[in-house]
Amino acid sequence: MGVDIRHNKDRKVRRKEPKSQDIYLRLLVKLYRFLARRTNSTFNQVVLKRLFMSRTNRPPLSLSRMIRKMKLPGRENKTAVVVGTITDDVRVQEVPKLKTLRPLQGPEVRACQRPTGQPRLQKLTLDPTLLLKRF
């Protein structure tokens, strides 16, 4: 007689596509799925995973933490990409120049030197100075 193997724990439980039916989000998923498959960049894989996340599981990033992490050596001319919400921190007096994908209430109002154009995530894929870390 053989051993009966339990197969109820074999299933991988993770999202393979977003739940949202937003066509622009679906186009971004198509783009980053292609880039994650065809390049060896972990940046594209992380962005693809973050695009799948629900709003409650998408981790926010505080403004003070982003400023602190971008001051590390070697990150002077880099662009930080955050797939999620940047929360305002009122303790920060000087806010650096920000480019956000959507206007936020706190940091965007305080950043007086904000550029007029807002970048698109598709244009950021072509930028060689990208930095995406799990802060």
- The predicted-structure confidence for 76-133, as pLDDT tens digits, reads as follows 888 777 787 788 777 888 777 766 665 565 655 555 444 545 556 666 666 666 655 5
Q: For the beta carbon of residue 97, count every other beta carbon within 10 angstroms.
A: 9
For residue 123, tell me if it sits in a domain: yes
| Helix H or strand E segment including 32 | helix 23-38
Distance CA 1, CA 23 (A): 54
- Reading the block at residue 55, the tokens are 């709003």
Distance CA 65, CA 81 (A): 13
pTM for the model: 0.65
How many domains, in total, are found in the chain? 1
Query: Domain range for residue 84?
Result: 23-131
For residue 96, tell me if it sits in a domain: yes
For residue 16, tell me if it sits in a domain: no
